Amino acid sequence: MIKMSTMKKIFLYMLLLCAGVAACTIMKNDQLDKDAEQFLSEFKAMLTKSDSEILAMFLSGQSEEEILKGVAVLQNKDGASVKTRVRYAEATGKWDAGYLFIDLPVDLSAEGEEMVVKHLTLKLVQKKAGKFYINRLGGEEVYTAYHSLKYKVENRDLLAQRSRDLKVYYDRAMELQKNYDSVVWYTQYEDTTYYVAVNGTYVLDSLNKKSPATFKMGLLHENGKVVIPVEYDLIGNPSINIPGAVEVKREGKVGYFDLNGKMLVPTEYTWVVPYEEGQSKALVKKDTVFGWLDASYQFHENFPSEKAEKYIRDFTYLTEKKFVFGGDHQQLIINLAQNERYNYESRGIIIAPGFLVNNNIFNWVTQDFTTRLSSEDEVYESGNVYKENSSQYSFSLSETIDVLVNSIKTRYIGGRGEFYTENKINLIDKSQNLVGSIDTWGEGDFTLKRLNEKLLQASFLYDGEEGPSANFKELNLPYYNYFKIEENNLTQLQRNRIFGFTEYLKIDSSFLSGNFKTYNQELPENQREQFTSFLSKETIEYMRVEILANYGFVITNEDYLDNYRFFGKGEDKNQTITTDYETVYAKASEIDKYNLDFLAKILGPIAKPI
């Protein structure tokens, strides 16, 4: 089977489907037809069969391990304390972009626990003779809920002890809270516990927003002594940037306290970057002025050396190393709010240093970290194990603007997938101010290229379960996004085609070449996965079809029509439709005429009907 194990790609698939869609035609059918009902009957029977018989029902990019993990939850054959029951009679379905999506409610029950209902999605592709195959077993929420409930039931004593251990911090927080409106977080550093006190109306989700805070924060020693007055908008993790110190934020500026309560750096700076060279302790930005702090944290204007200036101007302070956030790397802040699911799932928080936030690498507050360290006893938790700035680079876009590209990799546990990657494209002026930003997904071979003064191209290899559509032979197709740069703003351009590059560029054979995977379920198992260096004729033909269809050319091929209705402009009632190639060609843009001529050299004259 073809490896694809990340839940991120579920989100990526949805992003790809929705990006730039001007109109969308989806045929819904809540009542399943006879073929789909027959398939569900076969699926139910499949759960009692061997692994090889189960896998024969799949035409999928999911790994065998991922598929069998999901199926095992439905089989109830290991005597587990949690039982599942699929409500086949309540199945609903809808057709979408050439796939049939079937939704199945699943009951999860365990002794002494309330029954919960989650949903399983089967994404089906219909092949020869109307036969259905499972293209994706979408069971993340069932899988996560099953194992969380299973662990809770089978480890009640351990989890009760964990709750008792955590209760110590809740009880102390309640005592300290008598002098404040609330005590919301705690963290530990060098065998001492510190608590974050709040005056005002505390709203955790507001911390990443630009609206004014409705509360102020401070830091308390476990003995009640005030370490940092309750006067700040945000209190950071101990030692996350400067050893033994805590970054604080007020009105968009940052400063530092040590854990004895001494203010080291007043809250006057946009950011503080550790930099030890000569007398320098850190490099700082104060409004529009660069400077540095000495060993006594006194401010000096300008850079301490040419080397230090280059370190900042060339973004070396961001690109020379990785920044990894998570319980094995920093002391987490723990949210004291009672978890609405299980008390033992205390969630960790990381407050990023200002220099990472102002360059749009991380948000001020990142939540949902697991709190168990890898060296500790196993306690089931779902959540982020770590977030890592896995790769980054910069280049000059103009005399006034630089581009900084960051890839953020997240390891998440609790689902069948594990790793997710997003990319941030940031425009930064020469004064190191963020002036524009776009987030985009894409793990395989992500690149960003400047095409001209006004246009950027982001590309990656989309390694999907069956490409972006059931009707393409290739499983991994190049995917392109385009961004317009105008007055220091970055705007993602709308895509009206699957192969968006045909809208903006005069193409050549490089856009059709690569290392493409195909998968043929009908071949012997050891021959099913194959590779080709050039796109199939059918895929290239569709590339041509969607250019023509944008100008009213009639599509009669059902596979092509399904794709175009979903990704393209659909049925534009104001557009004159025709089957005459020359009429359409005359209306095409200069770029589209060039690309139609290029594709005709490969495919020959267009065949009718298409």
**For 481-500, what is each residue's pLDDT tens digit?**
888 887 767 788 887 788 88
| Angle of the 537-549 helix axis to the 558-567 helix axis, nearest 10 | 50
Q: Residue 491 falls within a domain, yes or no?
A: yes
Q: What's the confidence (pLDDT) of residue 375?
A: 52
Most confident of 75-89, 265-279, 519-533: 265-279
Q: pLDDT digits over 525-534, tens only?
A: 777 778 899 9
* Choice between 121 and 575, residue whose per-residue pLDDT is larger: 121
Amino acid 334: pLDDT = 85
Written as one letter, the residue type at 594 is Y
Tell whether 2 is covered by a domain. no
C-alpha distances in Å from residue 146, one per residue of 5, 117, 389, 398, 548 = 19, 10, 32, 53, 49
Indicate if 130 and 164 belong to the same structural domain: no
Assess whether 437 and 298 both reside in one domain: no
84 lies in the same domain as 175: no
Assess whether pLDDT exceeds 50 at residue 91. Answer: yes
Instruction: Let me know if residue 608 belongs to a domain.
Output: no
CB-CB neighbours of 312 under 10 Å:
19
pLDDT, tens digit, 9 for 90 and up, residues 136-162: 888 888 888 888 788 778 877 777 777
Measured torsion, CA atoms of residues 78, 81, 82, 83, in degrees rounded to the nearest 10: 60
- DSSP type of residue 474: B
**113 and 194 assigned to the same domain:** no
145 and 166 in a single domain? The answer is: no
First to last CA, the chain: 33
Q: Domain range holding 280?
A: 159-305+321-334
User: Do the Cβ atoms of 377 and 260 come closer than 8 Å?
Assistant: no
pLDDT digits (tens, 9 = 90+) for 551-572: 887 776 666 655 555 444 444 4
**Structural domain includes residue 46:** yes
**Tokens 């086949």 correspond to what residue?**
88
**Longest C-alpha distance within the chain, in Å?**
83
| Judgement on whether residues 150 and 163 belong to the same structural domain of the protein | no
With a cut of 50, say whether residue 543 has pLDDT above it: yes
CATH number (domain holding residue 105): 3.10.450
* pLDDT score, position 1: 34
Q: How far apart are CA 300 and CA 290, in angstroms?
A: 9
Q: Are 200 and 214 in contact (CB under 8 A)?
A: yes
Same-domain check for residues 565 and 586: yes
Q: Report the predicted TM-score, pTM, of the whole model to 2 decimal places.
A: 0.69
pLDDT of 24 above 50:
no
pLDDT tens for each residue of 330-385: 788 888 765 433 344 567 899 999 999 999 889 999 888 877 655 555 555 667 78
Buried b (16+ CB within 10 A) or exposed e, 544-559: bbbbbbbbbbebebee
470 and 439 housed in the same domain? yes
Distance CA 36, CA 124 (A): 9
Summarised one tens digit per residue, pLDDT across range 418-472 is 677 888 888 888 888 888 787 776 555 677 888 888 888 888 776 554 444 455 7
Check whether residue 92 and residue 199 sit in a common domain.
Answer: no
| Mean of the per-residue pLDDT values of the chain | 80
Of the three residues 155, 185, 208, the one that is the final residue of a domain is 155
Among 102, 133, 155, give the residue marking a domain's end.
155
Domain count across the chain: 3
> Do the domain assignments include residue 366?
no
CA distances to 26, 108, 585 from 575, rounded to whole Å, are 21, 52, 15
Q: Which residue has the higher pLDDT, 341 or 184?
A: 184
Answer yes or no: is 208 within a domain: yes
Q: What is the distance between the alpha carbons of residues 149 and 62, in angstroms, rounded to a whole number? A: 25
For residues 483 and 553, state if they share a domain.
yes
Question: Does residue 3 lie within any of the structural domains?
Answer: no
Last residue of a domain, one of 124, 155, 186: 155
| pLDDT computed for residue 25 by the predictor | 30
- 155 against 241, higher pLDDT: 241
Asked whether residue 391 is assigned to any structural domain, the reply reads yes
| Nearest residue to 454 via CA among 502, 511, 401 | 401
Which has more confidence, 159 or 286? 286
Rounded Cα gap, residues 467 and 3, in angstroms:
13
User: To which residue do tokens 């699957």 refer?
Assistant: 498
Residues 141 and 179 in one domain: no
Is the same domain home to 68 and 217?
no
* pLDDT of the residue at 392: 78
Q: Write down the pLDDT at residue 610.
A: 55
Cα dist from 201 to 135, 180, 210, whole Å? 48, 11, 16
pLDDT of residue 558: 60
Which comes out higher in pLDDT, residue 419 or 321? 321
Residue-level pLDDT at 218: 97
